Amino acid sequence: MPFVNIRILEGHSQKRKDEISRRVTDAISEVVELPREAIWVVFEDVAASDWFVGGTAVGKPKSQ
């Protein structure tokens, strides 16, 4: 059973997560030839202050 863990910045709507989950599930189902029911997708919402890119939290304004 494939298990997909998606970390995403908090604030995305349930509608958006539903669509991402559907597309990921469809792609995996097609490629590995498994029924959709065998594929698990889990979202982990991460606060922008806990997500860093290039050493800077995404939630902090960039220095000028």
The residues annotated with a catalytic role in the active site are: 2
Inter-residue contact 6 to 41 (CB < 8 Å): yes
